Structure 1
Amino acid sequence: MPEPGTASPATAAGPAPWRLFVPKLVTALRQGYGLPDLRADLIAGLTVAIVALPLAMALAIASGTTPDKGLVTAIVAGFLISALGGSRYQIGGPTGAFVVVVFNVIAQHGYDGLVLATLMAGVLLLALGYGRVGTYIKYVPYPVVTGFTAGIAVIIFTSQIKDLLGLTMVVTPAEFAAKLAAYADALPTIHWPTVAVAFGSLAVILAIRHWKPQLPVFLIAVVAGSLAVMALGLPVDTIGSRFGGIPTELPTPVFPEITWKRLVELSPSAFTIAFLAGIESLLSAVVADGMTGRKHRSNCELVAQGAANIASALFGGLPATGAIARTATNVRSGARTPVAGMAHAVFLLLFMLVLAPLAVFVPLASLAAVLVIVAWNMAEVDHFRHLMKAPVGDRVVLILTFSLTVLVDLTVAIQVGVVLAAFLFMHRMANAVEVETHTRVIDDDEDDFAKAPTPDYPPLPEGVEVYRISGPFFFGAAAKLGEVLDRIRKPPRVFILRMRLVPLIDATGGHALEEFLRRCEAHGTQVILSGVQDQPRRLMGELGLAGRVRFAPDTPTAIAEAERLLRG
C-alpha cells in the first residue's frame, strides 16, 4: 500500500495501459447497479429507440439500399457500441455522415463491396484503437470537420429531392451537378400527392418541435404520413411498393468473399469509413461528456466501433458510428449507464419483430422529410457562419473542404483539408513569436484514472483558480482547455487564465475558448485573461468573445481584479 498522500506507482506513471480499454459498462457495473438505474436506463433506451426507428430506415434508403439494412445496423452495431465502448452514453447506428460514402461504394462495387469495405474498416478501427491512435484522431481541425459535415448535409438534402417531389427518373446521377441537371429535366413529372405528403410531414415535424420538442417528432411525422396515405388512398411510393416490406427477423451472419483485388479496390472506401466512424464517434462522446461532466475513453471507443462494424458487416448491415443526436437524446432521457444503449438496440429488435408488417405503409415522402431535417441539423449553419468570421486561412480550409465534399469526393476533401490546415499552422508558426515551452501538446488518454495536476502558483483567495496556457493554442491543443473545469471539483467564482506565453490562436482554439466561456457562464464563473498577446486578442474580437471576458495586463493585476469581484 502506498503511504497516505502519495500516488501508487501505476497512478504516478499514468493509468495502466489495459485500463484504457475497459468498457464503461464494466466500470458502471463495478460501481454498483440497482433497480433505479435499470429503470432509468430502460426508459432512456425506449425513448432513443423510438427516435432511431424511422431514422435507421430513412438513412438506409438514402444510402441506396433497403430499410431493413438500417435497422439491422442499429440493432447489431448499436448493441455492441454500447456494450464495449468507452462512453457511458454513446448510441451507435447508421448516421448521415455515411450516406455519401455508402451510396458511392454500392454504386461502384455493389452491396457485397460495401460489406467487405465495412469489414475492413472495422479491422482498421480495431488496429487504431489498440494502437492508441484515438488520442490523436480527435484533433482533426475544426474547420475541416465543419466543412465536410456541411457538405454531407447538402448532398443528403439533394439526394431527397426526387422523393420529396415524386419525380419520375430512370437513373439518378451520383455527381452533384449532374444530379441537379437531372432534377431540372424531370421537374415536369412532379407528383403533387407526394409533395403534399412530404411537406405535410415537414410541417408536422416543425410544429411539434416548436410546441412539444420533447416528443418523438420523426416517428409522429412518419405515422401521420402513413395514416394519411391509407385513409385518403393516395397513390404515393411506400416502403411496401418499392421494397416489398422488411423482414421480421435478423439475417444469418455471412462472411463475404475476400480476394486481394477486392481488398485493394476497396481500401480507399474502407479508410474513409474508418475515419468517419472514428471522428464522429469521438465527437459524439465529447458532446456526451460536455452534457454530463463524465469523460470517455477514446481508444476503447475506437475498439468498440471496430467490433461493431465487423459485426454489422457480417449481419449484412451498414457502417455504424456514434450518433450525436441520438446520444444527446439518451442523456436528456435520463440514461445512467451503457445499459440504456443496449436496451435501445433490444427495443429496436422488438419493433422489427412486431411492427414489420406495418412498415409497408410508410410513405417514402415522409422519410424524405425526416432526412431534410437531419440534413439541416448536420449543416450546423450557426457554426459555419461563426467560422466565416475566423482568419482568412481558416475560412479557406472551411470553404475548400465543403466544396470538395459536395463537388468531388469526401476522401479528397478530408485529405486536402487536413493537409492545408497543417500547412496553414506551419505558416502561422513561422510568423509567430518564438516561445520556449516544455508543455506537451498531445497527452495520452487520462480518462477516469488521471490525477489532477498540482497548481504551480502561490495561495489564492477562496473561489479563485489560476491556470496557464503555454504555447500556441491551435487545433492540436484545443481539447486541453475543456479538461480544465473537469479537473476542478467545485467551479470557482473567478477563473484567471494566464496567456502571456500564447503567441497565436486558430479557429479551433477560438471555438474551444468559446465553449470554455459558455461552461463558465453556466456555472456563474467570471473569467479574467491576463497577458493576452496581439494575435489572440484580435481573434477574440473577430469571433465576438472579447465582450465576454475581462482582460488584465499581468497576473498580479488579474488577482487584484478577482479580489475586487469577490468583494463586489
Structure 2
Amino acid sequence: MKKASFPNTPAKRLRLFFTFFDSRWEDLTKENWVQIVYRDFSAGLIVAMTAIPMAMGFAMAMGMRPENGIIAGALACVIGRTFGGSKYQVYGPTAAFIPVIAALFFKYGPASGGEFEAAHGFLVLVSILAGIILIIMGIFGIGKYAKLVPSSIIVGFTIGIAVAIALTNMEDVLGIESFSDLMGQDEEIKGGLMHNLYTAMGNLDKLNIWSIFLGLLTFGVTKGLLRISIFIPGPIIAMGLATLLSATVLADKGIILVKDVYGSIPNNFFVFTAPSLPAFSTGLVFDILYFVGAIVFVSGVESILCSSMADKLAKNDRTPFNPDKEFFGQGMVQIFTPLVQGFPCTGALARTATSIKAGAVTPLAGYFKAVLKLLMAYYLAQYLELIPMACIGGILIWVASNMIKVSEIKEIKQLGKFEFSMMVYTAVMVPMTDFLTGVLSALIIYFVVKNVYRRAQRATKVQTN
C-alpha cells in the first residue's frame, strides 16, 4: 500500500471532503469499467439480500420498528459512500449501537410511559449533535486518533456487545414475548440486560418450544449456508424457510409474527422525522452528553476499525482510507440518516467483509446495495411482516456469535496479562453496566496504568544509571 498523502490544513481537508471523485475511485478506469461495474453490482446484490433481515433485527433490538432499519441501512450507505473516506466500507445499522439506542428508547419511549415519536425525535437531536462534532473532528484532523484505542478494549467491547445482544434477544427465541403478547399481559422482557435475565428466568414456564425450534433453525441455516459460500444469502433463505413453516405446519402453535408486534410494515420509507427535546431537567443534560458521546465514540472507532479491516481484506496496495474524511462522512451519516425515519449508523464489519469477498472494488457497490435493498423491501413489505419474531432473534444470535472471534482473543492473550485482563474487564463491564461506562472506565484504567508503568520504568533507568 502506498504512503498516504492527505491534506494537512482544515481548508484543504474541507475541499477534499466535498470532492466526489477522489482516490476512492482510482481503480475504475475507461478500460475496466464494465468489469468493475458488474463486480460492484454483484457485491451490492449479495449484501442487500443479507442486510434486510439484519437491519430489521437491529432496529427491533433497539426498540424501533423494522422499517426504520431498512431505510437507515440504505440511506446511510448512500451518504457514507458519498462523503466517507473508504473505498470499500458498507454503512448501515450495527450491533454496537444497539445498547446505546435501546437505552434511549427504554428511558424516553413507551416502555417508560413516553411516546415512540418523542423518543425518536430525541434520538434525531442527539444524533445531529454527534454528527456536527464528528464533522468538526474530521475537519481538524482528529480522525487518526481513533486508532489509539487499544485492541484489547476494542475486542472486549465487541465481546460485551455480543453477549448483550444474545441475552437480550432470548425473549424472541424462547417465545416468552409471544406468550405475553397473545395473552394480553404486561410481562414482556424489556429494559437492560439484568432486567431481561430476571424476567426470562421468571417466565420459563411460558416458553414456546416451536419458537425455540424456529430460532435455532434460523441460526443453523444461516451459519451453515454462509460457511458453504458467501454468495448464498443465508439470512434471507433462513428467514424465508422459518416464515413458510410458521404459515403452514406451525400456523396454530402460538408463534408471534412481526405484524403481531409492529402491525403492517409500510413501504413509504422516506418520512421526515424532526428533532425534538423532552421536558428540560438536569438529568436531560446528562443524557444528551451521554448519548452524543456514545454516538461519537461508536461512529469514530468502529468506522476506523472497519476501514482498516477493509483495506487489509481487499489487499489494497494503492491509496489507503482517509481517517479524517471518514469522520466527516460519519458526521454526515449521523445528521441526515435519522431525519428520514432512520437512526445512527456506521461502518458494518460483517457486511463490508461480505462485499469485498463478493468482488466489490469501488463505492459503486454501496450505491447498488442501497438501491437494491430498498427495491426488495418495497416489494416484499407485505411478506416481511409475516416473519416470526423467533426468526429475528435467531438472526441476531447468529450476528452475536460472529462477533466473538477466538483468533482475536488469542492475539490479545499473546500481548500479555494486562492486555488480556483489560479485554476481560471491558467484556464484562459493557453488558453489566452500560456501553459508555464500560468503555470509558476501561480506557481510563488502561492509560492510567500504562502511564504509571512508564514512569516506573523511567525511574528504574535513572536509578540504574
Cα deviations by residue, 1:302-340 (Å, 9 ceiling, x for unpaired): 111111111111112111000011011111111121011
Tell me the alpha carbon deviations over residues 169-194 of structure 1, each in whole angstroms, 9 at most, x when there is no partner: 52425233332221111000011121
Shift of 1:263: 5.8
1:103 Cα deviation after fit: 0.6
Of 13, 17, 24, which aligns to 1:21? Answer: 17
Structure with higher helix content: 2
Instruction: Name the CA distance, whole Å, in 2 between partners of 1:393 and 1:154.
Output: 22
Contact 1:128 1:302 in 2 (8 A): yes
Contact 2:226 2:233 in 1 (8 A): no
Corresponding residue of 1:228 = 245
Q: Cα RMSD (Å) of the superposition?
A: 2.5
Map residues 441-456 of structure 1 onto 2, 5 A cutoff.
none
Shift in Å at residue 414 of structure 1? 1.4
- Whether 1:278 aligns to 2:300 is yes
Q: In structure 2, what is the equivalent of residue 84 of structure 1?
A: 83
> Are the counterparts in 1 of residues 99 and 434 from structure 2 also a CA contact under 8 Å?
no
Alignment of 1:130-141 (within 5 A): 130-141=139-150
Aligned to 1:478: none
Task: Tell me the CA shift for residue 108 of structure 1.
Answer: 1.1
Helix, strand or coil: the match of 1:65? coil
Distance (whole Å) between structure 1 residues aligned to residue 48 and residue 276 of structure 2: 33
Q: Give the 3-state SS of the residue equivalent to 2:85 in structure 1.
A: coil
Relative to the length of structure 2, the TM-score reads 0.86
Q: Which amino acid aligns with 1:269?
A: F
- Decide which moves more: 18-27 or 98-107: 18-27
Q: Which has the larger radius of gyration?
A: 1
Mapped to 2, the partners of 1:265 and 1:406 lie a distance apart of 19
Aligned to 1:423: 448
Q: Which residue of 2 aligns with 1:297?
A: 322
CA distance in 1, matches of 2:362, 2:393: 33
Contact 2:231 2:358 in 1 (8 A): no
1:235-254 matches, cutoff 5 A: 235-254=254-273
Number of equivalences: 427
Alignment partner of 2:398 out of 357, 373, 376: 373
One-letter amino acid of the structure 2 residue matched with residue 80 of structure 1: I
CA offset at residue 270 of structure 1?
1.2
- Matches of 1:32 and 1:14 in 2, distance apart? 28
Name the CA shift for 1:264/1:161 in 2 (closer, same or farther; >3 Å): closer
Aligned CA distance change for structure 1 residues 25 and 244 (closer, same or farther; 3 Å): farther
Q: 1:196 aligns with which of 203, 213, 218?
A: 213
Equivalent residue number for residue 200 of structure 2: 183
Q: 1:452 maps to which residue? A: none
What is the alpha-carbon distance in structure 2 between the residues aligned to residue 205 and residue 390 of structure 1? Answer: 34
Structure 1 pair 425–258 and aligned structure 2 pair: CA distance change class (3 A)? same
Once residues 362 and 414 of structure 1 are traced to their aligned partners in structure 2, the CA distance between those partners, rounded to angstroms, is 35
Contact 2:88 2:362 in 1 (8 A): yes
Tell me the alpha carbon deviations over residues 534-555 of structure 1, each in whole angstroms, 9 at most, x when there is no partner. xxxxxxxxxxxxxxxxxxxxxx
Other-structure match for 1:32: 29
In the TM superposition, 1:431-470 aligns within 5 A as 431-432=456-457
CA pair 435-376 structure 1, distance change in 2 beyond 3 A? same
Unaligned runs of 5+ in 1: 1-10, 437-568
The percentage of counterpart residues that share the same residue type is 26
Q: 1:434 to 1:48 in 2, by over 3 A?
A: farther
C-alpha contact 2:138 2:327 (8 A) present in aligned 1: yes
Deviation at 1:415, TM superposition (A): 1.1
Aligned partners of 1:23 and 1:86 also within 8 Å: no
Residue 127 of structure 2 contacts residue 335 of structure 2 at CA under 8 Å; is this kept in 1? yes
Deviation digits for residues 264-306 of structure 1 (CA, Å, limit 9, x no counterpart): 5322111101110111111110011102233100111111111
Q: Do structure 1's residue 255 and structure 2's residue 274 form an aligned pair?
A: yes
CA distance in 2, matches of 1:146, 1:292: 22
Distance 1:220 1:351 in 2: 14
Question: Which SS does the other structure have where 1:138 is aligned?
Answer: helix
**Are residues 1:64 and 2:63 paired?**
yes
Q: CA deviation at 1:376?
A: 1.0
Distance in 2 (CA, whole Å) between partners of 1:121 and 1:399 is 29
Q: Partner of 1:453 in structure 2?
A: none
Q: Which runs of 5+ in 2 are unaligned?
A: 110-118, 181-186
Q: 1:297/1:22 Cα in 2 relative to 1: closer, same or farther (>3 Å)? A: farther
Separation (CA, whole Å) in 2 of partners of 1:283 and 1:274? 14
Q: Per-residue deviation at 1:382?
A: 3.4
Seen in structure 2, the aligned counterparts of structure 1 residues 80 and 135 have a Cα distance that, compared at 3 Å, is same
Q: Are residues 1:209 and 2:226 paired?
A: yes
For 2:64 and 2:273, locate their aligned partners in 1 and report how far apart those are by CA, in whole Å: 18
